[in-house]
Amino acid sequence: MIHFEWPWLLCGLPLPLLIRWLAPSSPFVEQSALKVPFLDDFSPEKIPVFSQTQQWRLLLATLAWLLLLIACARPQWLGEPIEQAVSGRDLMLAVDLSASMEEQDFIINKNPVDRLTAIKWVASDFINRRVGDRVGLILFGTQAYLQTPLTFDRKTVQILLDESVIGLAGDNTAIGDAIGLAVKRLKNQSANSRVLILLTDGANTAGEVSPLKAAELAAANQLKIYTIGVGADEMIIRSFFGNRKVNPSRDLDENTLVKVAESTGGRYFRARNSDELNNIYMLLDKLEPVEKDKQYFRPRSELYYWPLSLALGLVVFICLSRLRLS
């Protein structure tokens, strides 16, 4: 159906008549009579009928004015209502970009990849499933940055997560600052549920706020935090002296991550490989299910350029006809 965004502008249709009625009339000027010796040249058959031409011009000008008003009223075509699921949940992802995320202890498609690549690979599907949630993205290292504010545009969040690189926010790990930034961005939102999913592979080594203090602020603002410790427990290192086992996650502060999660009503998860990481996201889908509150959206297509083009065409035609007869 056709809808006018500003229909009150159509009330301007009689404006030219009001201007003609209110404006002072031009004074009458007496002119001298013209004597012509050949009256046959001014016979009715040879005199141009200017009155009919003026009537056509008036009609076209009126039509042009009507089309111009219709264009100003901003006509739109409303499509069929589209159902949208809105959960009322604000979900923020906080991803560690510190230097330790370069450790290649994850396997994807039989190829070793670093921890950040594994997070991107699994998180993209998780973000895509969060239909109805407003999703945001925080990247942190030595400092914490809001990369994407809360939005229903999940595609943009995925793109910006894929474009993130290790070391972008510094080489250290400011877990407390990342939580504090999430609290700041979420505390004034009137959402039914506020959730932070924090992924890190280390301990808090930077920032101005400790993780536990930040967790207290999160709990006071009803922000639930799920923490995920990323990294394998053991890894085979080949060297000139043979193979040896090492623990690439020796710097992971699991005790702090557990306390942060439990103090806010969340949970701590351990992701040692890509399968465990994917299972964690599947479990998060169950812990924080996507609700199905129905809202409807009607797509709109602008139509104003059609009457505007016709009005301009009529104005050009009237101007050309006057030039031709002048």
Instruction: Assess whether 147 and 58 both reside in one domain.
Output: no
- The mean pLDDT value for 182-191 works out to 81
Q: Are residues 3 and 103 in the same domain?
A: no
User: What pTM does this model have?
Assistant: 0.63
| 194 and 326 fall within a common domain | no
Same domain, 70 and 214: no
End-to-end Cα, the chain, rounded Å: 45
Among the ranges 4-13, 167-176, 295-304, which has the highest mean pLDDT value?
A: 167-176
Can you tell me the distance from the alpha carbon of 170 to that of 97, in angstroms, rounded to the nearest whole number?
7
Give yes or no: residues 211 and 268 share one domain: yes
Residue 158 shares a structural domain with residue 249:
yes
Higher pLDDT, 292 or 164: 164
**21 part of a folded domain:** no
The answer to the question of residue 254 being in a domain is yes
Give CA–CA dist 208/75, Å, rounded.
Answer: 54
The Cα 277–Cα 282 span in angstroms is 9
238 with 273, same domain: the answer is yes
What's the rounded Cα separation, in Å, for the pair 127 and 130? 5
If asked whether residues 175 and 302 sit together in one domain, one would say: no
Strand-strand pairing, 75-78 and 82-86: unpaired
Domain count, the chain: 2
In this structure, the answer to whether residues 281 and 175 fall within a common structural domain is: yes
Nearest C-alpha neighbor of 180 from the set 143, 231, 132: 143
The DSSP secondary-structure symbol of 28 reads: P
- Per the domain annotation, does 96 fall within a domain? yes
Helix (H) or strand (E) holding 126: helix 115-129
Strand partners, 295: 84
Instruction: With a cut of 60, say whether residue 68 has pLDDT above it.
Output: yes
Q: Does residue 260 sit within a domain? A: yes
Note the pLDDT of residue 245: 66
Residue 311 · residue 57 · CB < 8 Å = no
In a domain, 36, yes or no: no
CATH number of the domain that residue 167 is part of: 3.40.50.410
Assess if residue 278 is contained within a domain.
Answer: yes
One domain for residues 250 and 307: no
Does 283 lie in the same domain as 309?
no
Q: What is the mean pLDDT of the chain?
A: 82
pLDDT in tens, 187-235: 877 656 789 999 998 889 988 999 999 999 999 998 999 999 998 876 6
Same domain, 3 and 144: no
pLDDT band at 50 (very low <50, low <70, confident <90, very high): very low
Question: Does residue 243 lie within any of the structural domains?
Answer: yes
Q: Give domain status of residue 22, yes or no.
A: no
Average pLDDT rounded to a whole number, residues 182-186: 91
**For the segment 304-325, what is each residue's pLDDT rounded down to a tens digit?**
888 889 989 988 888 888 777 6
Task: From 218, 199, 193, select the one nearest 281 (Cα to Cα).
Answer: 199
Q: Domain range spanning residue 184?
A: 83-294
